[in-house]
Amino acid sequence: MKRALYLIASAVLLLTGCAKEELGYNTASNGETVEVNIETSLSMSNPVTKAVWDKDGNAAYVDHWIMEVYDKDEALYYRKELTGQTGLTKTFTVTLIKNQEYSFVFWADRKGSYETSKLTDIKAVLSSDSRQAGKDSLDAFFCKKPYKSTKSESVSAVLKRPFGQVNIVTLDTKKIYDVIKDDTVYSKFIPEDLKVTARVYNGFNALADTLADLKQVDLTELICYGKTPYSYAEHKDTTTLFMDYLFVGDEQQLVDLAFEFKSNGEKFDYTFASVPLKRNYRTNIMGNLLSNDAEWTVTVDPIWNQPDFDVPVLPKGALPGAFSVSADKKVRFAKGNLRAQKVEDTWTWGFYDKQYLCNLDKGTSNRKAQASDDGIDLFTWGYGAWSKDPITTTYASSSFVDWGTVIEGDADWRTLSVEEWEYLVNKEGTSTVRKNKFKCGVTVCGLKNCMILAPDDFAGAIEASYDTESWKAAEAKGLVCLPPAGTRYETDIYFISVYGYYWTSSKEDDKALLVSFDDKEPFPGICFDDALANGFAVRLVTDYK
């Protein structure tokens, strides 16, 4: 799918002077010069075939061409700008001093889409930290080419995009229409008030090929599939909701994208964490956005480069890593421990926003259990034991009802069995994929005695300690942190930040099984607890699909 901006330059040595207006800013005293004719062209020999926005990334909007020439000290020697011209081929002519080293810098875009008064300080056009997105008029190309004017010759260069392209695509328009089969009703599902917010680079130095001006930007005026009713035939299977070009370097960069919109009167918001961007690659975030299916996938589709690679974007509340819990089953962990919060007389369930959090608001010493704004996170064995006063309950149910049933959303959550835990930590030493994939006694963001689990594809070493920045990088690689949340016995809480106790779904005879760990044992233990009403932590999983 190569679509490149080709530059062909021919240089002819002249023994006489040249027209004054073609001479660079700095001239030689001996008058010996080289005239270089540069023909630039946009080659669209292999255009993209997916028609999902404007002119589909085929550079049809380019009408603005710039050439800047710099001497060996990076001082501007010559600048030429061509505007308001259609077509895919433009020619520049410049007179150079013989036997000098230069850097040619080229830029091609839609006039007014970028601030280009200096190619060393190109900026996307912003208004109050927001800018228009979803337009192919934002497409642009650049190239830096070193050149020494020694003899008559022809040279060539390729202009490529200085950014990656991001697309958000929903795959469920056909499915929704198949259920509704009414264009009038269907039109209510057309997303409105779309907004994407991201921390991105707003500046680019084409001479140095460096990025600048990293800031939080609202990407507005998003592409959408219309504000009038669209029929099933017009939609077919997929709909692109958002597209933009973002400055990025040759090395892969991870970006968090916040995406929100309204559909059928309901507000939706998603955070796509650690989305990979790479220059000259297209990143496609694809999934069922308008309905409740569990799986999202991010694919990076190269505009020129190969090979493709895929990164998952997850069910709400799930972490990215895949963990084998048997020879033929994998799971993803929830983003934090289970937590119950009481609003007036109603209990609601969810996950902590950070993996290493547990109910530490009143300190780590032994204390009485009581309700708080943060709720509770030490539960009896299964939902079957839930009562109107769960904090002080002494009631235990012998029938296990999984805590995963209380979580609403787009995934089926559950508690791991003891057999799955044993496979996960490779207790018998028979699973090569899970060898050396956990560590106890780890400090995470200041909290000691955590247990860290690494996903199957993790190739590095688990560290003994992580600060805020290093833990963010570790999470992007799929690492899971289980905090030492302690235990509750009737109304008393013990061992917060010292021991971790986590329920399994398993029971032998009348005793339930749990996983325990601390800083002294290198291996997590499997132990019994015959008091099913005792409170232990719960970390849910969802099956990998």
Instruction: Tell me how far CA of residue 467 lies from CA of 352, 464, 473, in angstroms.
Output: 19, 11, 10
Closest CA to 487 of 389, 383, 364, 372: 364
Concatenated DSSP letters for 164-223? EEEEEEES-HHHHHHHH--HHHHGGGS-EEEEEEEEEEEEEETTTTEEEEEEEEEEES--
User: At residue 158, does pLDDT exceed 90?
Assistant: no
User: What was the pLDDT predicted at 262?
Assistant: 81
User: What was the pLDDT predicted at 230?
Assistant: 36
The pLDDT-based confidence of 7 (bands split at 50, 70, 90) is very low
The pLDDT-based confidence of 396 (bands split at 50, 70, 90) is low
The pLDDT-based confidence of 538 (bands split at 50, 70, 90) is very high
Residue 248's Cβ-side half-sphere holds a number of Cα atoms within 13 Å equal to: 24
Distance from the Cα of residue 18 to its chain's centroid: 53
User: What was the pLDDT predicted at 351?
Assistant: 92
Which helix (H) or strand (E) covers residue 465, if one does?
Answer: strand 465-466
Amino acid 50 reads K
The set of residues, in sequence order, having a beta carbon less than 8 Å from that of 239 and lying 6+ positions away, is: 169, 170, 173, 225
pLDDT in tens, 280-295: 888 888 877 776 543 4
Least confident of 121-125, 346-350, 432-436, 477-481: 346-350
User: What was the pLDDT predicted at 88?
Assistant: 67
Mean pLDDT on 310-335:
84
CA dihedral (233, 238, 244, 247) positive or negative: negative
183-192, 197-206, 354-363 — most confident range: 197-206
User: At residue 365, does pLDDT exceed 60?
Assistant: no
User: At residue 382, does pLDDT exceed 80?
Assistant: no
Least confident of 83-92, 249-258, 534-543: 83-92
User: What was the pLDDT predicted at 335?
Assistant: 93
Amino acid 205 reads N
Mean pLDDT on 195-203:
87
User: What was the pLDDT predicted at 300?
Assistant: 54
Report the chain's terminal Cα–Cα distance, integer Å. Answer: 30
Mean pLDDT on 168-197:
74
The set of residues, in sequence order, having a beta carbon less than 8 Å from that of 446 and lying 6+ positions away, is: none
Mean pLDDT on 440-465:
92
User: What was the pLDDT predicted at 530?
Assistant: 61
Q: Between 238 and 454, whose confidence is greater? A: 454
The pLDDT-based confidence of 521 (bands split at 50, 70, 90) is low
User: What was the pLDDT predicted at 535?
Assistant: 84
Dmax of the chain from CA atoms?
A: 102
Least confident of 91-100, 151-160, 220-229: 220-229
User: What was the pLDDT predicted at 73?
Assistant: 94
Q: Which residues pair with 256 in a beta bridge?
A: none
Least confident of 24-33, 48-57, 349-358: 48-57
Q: Between 450 and 492, whose confidence is greater? A: 450
d(CA 249, CA 163): 7
